[in-house]
Structure 1
C-alpha cells in the first residue's frame, strides 16, 4: 500500500468541522514504525477528534486515512468507559498476560475481586485495568489519550518503561510535561485547526516553538514596514495624479493651441501616475499573495483568581484513629493527622489507597468510617472533583452553573472568558472537550469565597498553559490547599507537606513531594551540608594550630581532632 515500508498510517488533506466550527483543516502526516509522537494543543483544539478519526470512530469531511493491512490499534480513551464487570472476558486466550500486567501495575489478585470491590474502584484503578486490557491484546500501534490522568507514580513509571520497550508506533495525547519529556521524540501541535511538527521531547518543543514565534514576529514586522512604505509611496503618487488631473481641466489664458498642449501634458502626466499606482498595487498584491506572513498568534492568557474569606484558627482539621473498609477490603485504619491553616498538603499514595475516599470523609459525603474527623465550625471548603461528567450535558456553561442574579451572571461570563471559553459559552456542555468542562467547574469555584481548597486531580484535562497559570494562582492563595495530583511538576511547585497513604495508614510527612519520592537526593544534600560543616571546623582548627607552639599541651588535642575531621571528610567524599 505504502511506498515507504516503514509507514503504518498516512493522513492526507483531512478536514473536520462540527456545525460552523472548523476543528481540523488540511491535516497531513505519516506515522512510521517506532515513532514516538506527543500530540499537544489547547483544550478543544481537536486532539481527541483527530484520534477518533484515525480509529474510524468519526468520518472526516474531506481527506483520507490509510492504514497498513491488518494493523491492530490499542486505544485508551480520555474518559475511561472500561466496563470492569467484563474484565478478563475479552482475552480468554491470554488471561495470564492480563493478570501479569495488573500485578505489575500494583493491582494484586484482581481475579479474586468481588462485586463490592469492583464497585469502589478509584479512577486510577480503572485506568490500570484498561491499560492491562490494552497491553494483553498485543497491539501493533498505540493511541493513548491522557494516559497519566489518575495514574499514580508507580503506574507512570511502568508506562514509561513499557513504551520504551514497545516496538510499534505510539501516539500520545497528553498535557503531562514530565511524562512527555520521558516518552516522546516528536511533538505534533494542533493550533488554529492546523498541525505543526517539532522534533524532540516536550522541553525541546517549547524552545523551538519560541524560536519560530520570534522569527515569524520579526518577519511579520519587516513585511508590515515594507507594506507601509509602499502604501506611503502610493499615497504620494495618488496626490500627484489628482493634481495632474486638476491641472488638465484648468481654464487658462493664451492661445487655444497652447492651452490644449498644456492640458494634454497634464493629462499624460496624470495617466502616467495612474499607471504607476496600478503597477505598485499589482506588485504589492502579488507579493502578499505569494509571501503573506501572518501575524503570529499569542498564547491565550488564562487568568485564575482565588479569594480566601479570611484567616481562622491555626488547626482547622484533625483526624484520630481514622479507618475505613469496603467489605473485606481495608483502605486504611488507625490513622491520625492534622492540617493547619495556610498549609499546602499533597495526598500521596498508590491508586486505590483511599485518597479520594478521605476527601469525601472530610466533606461529609462518606460517613461509614471508624474514628473521628474534627473540622473547624466556621470552615468554608471548596471542592473540585476529578469527575467532569457530572455537569448537565444539554445545558450551556451559564445554565450549568445555575446563577440567576444578573451580577453573578455577568461575573461568570467574565470568568469563563478569562478561562478561554468565550467562543463556546453558549454551546451545550456535551460539545465541550473534557478540558473545557474542567474550566466550567473551576468557574464555579472562583465564584465563591472559602478557607480551604480541596482539589482532586485539578490538572487532569487542562491544557499546559492552564496548568501553569493554575500553579501560579494557587501559589498566591492565602488559605489552605489539600490536593490529589499525579502531575509531578504541579505537586512539587505547590506542596510543602504530605499526607502519605502507605501500609494501610495515613500519615503526615513534613517533606516536599520531591524529597519524599527521591530520598537519595536528600541524602546527597545532607552529605553536602555535613561536608560544609566539617570544612568550616577544619579551617577553624588550622587557624588555632597556626597560633600555637607544638609544645603547647593544647596542640596534640587539636591535632588529633584535625586528623579525625580529615578522615570524616574523606568518608563523605567516597
Structure 2
C-alpha cells in the first residue's frame, strides 16, 4: 500500500471541507477524483503529498515513497523549455559533470590510475541507472507526444499560463516517481496530445490519482472513481461510465428506501398520537405505555438522509429566433494570414441550417480565427465569407474578459432588460445567490464567468449558436446541465471543445482544419 487516509477531516476557517475520508491507494492503481468545484479535490491531493496536514485522522505513506505533483507553474525565466526540463534532474546533471571531468582528464594523455577508471565505470553505471543516457530522448519524445516540439527552444517567459502548466506536467511525467498526482491534465491539450497522454497512462505500471472533469478521459484511463460529495468520499470500482450507472442505481434505491422509511415513520407517529388520545379519553395507563414504547422505537431508527432531487446549478433554456435560410455560412476560397504565417489558403466550406458541427484541428490551426471571421471581428485577406439571410448569432467566447472589472455582477447583468428582482431571480438560476450578485467581476472564478455569460446568452434570441470551449472551468454536473440545454436547441450549432464527451453528446459532424483547408466528415458516435 502506497498511501492510506484514515478518517481524515480538513477544515478551513472552521468550516469542514473534507469529513471522515478513508482511502487506500495501492501500487499500479489509476484513480479518477471527481466532485463539484470547491468540493475539496485539490485539498485531498495536497493531503496525500503532505503539503497540508489533516485536522483529524491520519495520512500514512510508504517509506521512501516518491510522489510527483504539479504544485505550481515554473517561474518565468530566460531558460528554454528544453533546458528547464534537462535542469529539472539535478542528480543526472551532477553525474554528467563528473563523467565529463574524467573524460577531459583521460583525453590529456596523462597516465590513468586504476582507481580513476574504477570510479569512471561506477559513474557510468549510476548514470545509466538514473536514466541519464535516455533523458534527452525521453524529453524530445514527450514534447512530440504533447504536440509541443515547436516550443522546445522557447523561453519560459514567453509561454502562456496554460503552456507553463503543460511544461510542468511534462516535467513530472519524466520523473521516476511511484505516484503521480495530476490536476486537470487534459486542460490545454489538443486531441492528438490527449490521445498520447491516455496511451502513456494506460501503458504505465505506475500509480496515478487524477483530478479531472474530462469524462471521456476518465473512461479511457482510470479503473476506479473516487467521488467527493458534501465533504464525504465514496469509491466506485470502475471507470466513469461504470460510476454513472452505479450512482444512478444508488440514488434510485436511496429514494425508494427513503420513501418507505418515511411511510413507516408516519405510521408510527400516527399510532403514537392515537394511543395518547385513547389514553386521555379512557385514562388508561396501558395506552400511554404503548405510546412510550413506540416513541423509543422511533428514536432508535437510523434515519435515511433525504435524497437531493434537484442538484442543478444551471437552470435555463436557449431562446430560439425564427429559423434562418438553408445556407447559414458560405466560405469560398478564403485566405488569412498573420505576420506572413498563413492560416487559411483557398479554404472552402458550408454550414447548413440545423447542422451540429464540431470545429476541430490542432492548437494553432485556426479554430479561433475562423470564429472571429464568422463574427466579423476579423476580415479575410481574400475570398468570401457570407452569413446567410435571417441568421442571428449567439456566441460564448473561450476567454471571458470585461471592460470594467470593478463592476458588480448585478450591475453588469442590468444590460439584460428587467427589474432588479427579475434579474436576481435569473442570476439565482445560474448559482449566483444572495451576496454573490455584489461580487466584483475581477473576483469571479473561471467557472463563475462562464455561468454569468451563459445567463446573459440565454436571455437573447438567436438561431446560430457558436460556443468556444463552453465547458472550460466547469465541473461535471454543470457540464451535463449545459449539454441538456444545448441538446434541446433546434437551431444551428458550431462548437470548439477539447471535451470529447461533450462533443459526442452535441455534435453530428466534424469540420476539421488541416493544412490550411477545411475537411468535413460525419462524427462517429461512441457515446449515446
Q: Using the alignment, how far apart are the partners of 2:417 and 2:337 within structure 1? A: 46
What residue is the counterpart of 1:280 in the other structure?
294
Is the 1:44–1:433 contact (alpha carbons within 8 Å) kept by the matching residues of 2?
no
Which residue of 2 is the match for residue 414 of structure 1? 425
For residue 426 of structure 1, report the CA deviation from its aligned partner: 4.1
Could you tell me how far apart the structure 1 residues matched to 2:402 and 2:73 are? 14
Task: Name 1:227's counterpart in structure 2.
Answer: 265
Counterparts of 1:432-443 in structure 2, within 5 Å, are 434-443=446-455
SS at match of 2:141: helix
Shift in Å at residue 395 of structure 1?
6.6
DSSP 3-state at the match of 2:418: helix
What's the counterpart of residue 481 of structure 2? 469
CA 1:68 to 1:154, structure 2 compared with 1: closer, same or farther past 3 Å?
A: same
Deviation for aligned residue 1:340: 3.2
Q: How does 1:451-490 map to 2 (within 5 A)?
A: 451-490=463-502
8 A Cα contact 2:348 2:517, kept in partner: yes
1:211 aligns to what?
249
Gaps of 5+ in 1: 1-5, 246-268, 518-574
Q: CA deviation at 1:370?
A: 5.4
The whole-number CA distance in structure 1 between the counterparts of 2:54 and 2:417 is 42
Q: Write the distance in 2 (CA, Å) between the matches of 1:430 and 1:32.
A: 42
Q: Distance in 1 between matches of 2:383 and 2:142?
A: 36
1:143 is aligned, of 181, 184, 200, to 181
Distance 2:246 2:438 in 1: 35
1:447: Cα distance to partner?
Answer: 2.0
Which digits, 9 at most, give the CA deviation of each residue in 1:88-147, with x for residues without a partner?
A: 32532445432321112233343345899x56x796x66654432332244432222222
Separation in 1, partners of 2:21, 2:319: 43
1:447 aligns with 2:485: no
Aligned position for 2:31: 37
2:401, 2:46 → 1: CA distance? Answer: 19
Superposition deviation, residue 213 in structure 1: 2.0
2:138 corresponds to 1:97: yes
Task: Note closer, same or farther for the CA distance 1:51–1:422 as it changes in structure 2 (3 Å cut).
Answer: farther
Q: Return closer, same or farther for 1:368/1:115 CA change in 2, 3 Å cut-off.
A: farther
Partner Cα distance (1:71, 1:383) in 2: 48
The range that moved more, 442-451 or 336-345, is: 336-345
Counterparts of 2:39 and 2:17, CA distance in 1: 7
Tell me, in whole angstroms, the C-alpha distance in 2 between the residues paired with 1:188 and 1:13: 15
Cα shift at 1:389: 7.1
Change (3 A) 1:377 1:209: closer
Partner of residue 75, structure 1 = 69
User: 1:80: Cα distance to partner?
Assistant: 7.7
| C-alpha separation in 1, matches of 2:410 and 2:473 | 20
Aligned twin of 2:522: 512
TM-score by length of 1: 0.72
Which structure would you say has the larger Rg?
A: 1
Counterparts of 1:134-533 in structure 2, within 5 Å, are 134-245=172-283, 269-270=284-285, 272-285=286-299, 287-288=300-301, 291-298=302-309, 300-301=311-312, 302-327=314-339, 329-366=341-378, 371-375=383-387, 379-387=391-399, 397-399=409-411, 401-403=412-414, 407=418, 409-422=420-433, 425-426=436-437, 428=439, 434-503=446-515, 505-509=516-520, 511-514=521-524
Cα distance in structure 2, aligned partners of 1:433 and 1:23: 19
Query: How far apart are residue 54 of structure 1 and its match?
Result: 3.8
Distance across 2 between alignment mates of 1:155 and 1:391: 34
Secondary structure of the equivalent of 2:10?
Answer: strand
| Aligned partner of residue 514 in structure 1, secondary structure | coil
Q: Cα deviation per residue 1:453-501 (whole Å; 9 max; x = unaligned)?
A: 2111222333334333333332332332211123333323322333211
Give the paired residue count.
Answer: 476
CA–CA distance in structure 2, aligned partners of residues 114 and 434 of structure 1? 27
Match of 2:124 in 1: none
CA displacement, residues 19-45 of structure 1 (integer Å, 9 cap, x when unaligned): 76x432222222222111111223443
Query: Deviation at 1:339?
Result: 2.7
Q: Secondary structure at the match of 2:242?
A: helix
Q: Any idea what SS the aligned residue of 2:480 has? A: helix
Per-residue displacement from partner, 1:397-424 (whole Å, max 9, x unpaired)? 435x431677264444334433455478
Mapped partners of 2:8, 2:404: distance in 1? 36
Shift in alpha-carbon separation, 1:448–1:95, aligned structure 2, 3 A: farther
SS of residue matched to 1:407: coil
> How much does 1:347 deviate?
0.7
2:151 to 110, 115, 131: 110
Tell me which residue corresponds to 2:8: 13
CA contact (8 A) 2:214 2:499 kept: yes
User: Cα offset for 1:14?
Assistant: 1.7
Displacement after TM superposition at 1:237 (Å): 1.6
The answer (yes or no) to whether the contact 2:330–2:387 under 8 Å persists in 1 is yes
**Cα RMSD (Å) of the superposition?**
3.6
Separation in 2 of the partners of 1:80 and 1:437? 23
* CA distance 1:461–1:17, change in 2 (3 Å): same
User: CA 1:435–1:221 in structure 2 vs 1: closer, same or farther (change >3 Å)?
Assistant: same
Structure 2 stretches of 5 or more lacking a match? 90-134
Aligned partners of 1:427 and 1:104: how far apart in 2? 45
Determine whether 1:132 maps to 2:170.
Answer: yes
Contact 1:332 1:506 in 2 (8 A): yes
Equivalent in the alignment of 1:251: none
Q: Which deviations, in whole Å up to 9, do the C-alpha atoms of 1:535-560 show, x marking residues without a partner?
A: xxxxxxxxxxxxxxxxxxxxxxxxxx
Structure showing the higher helix proportion among its residues: 1
SS of the aligned residue for 1:493 comes to helix
Cα deviation digits, residues 20-78 of structure 1 (max 9, x gap): 6x43222222222211111122344332343344455556554444444554433357x
Q: Which shifted more, 427-436 or 212-221?
A: 427-436
2 CA distance for matches of 1:360 and 1:35? 44
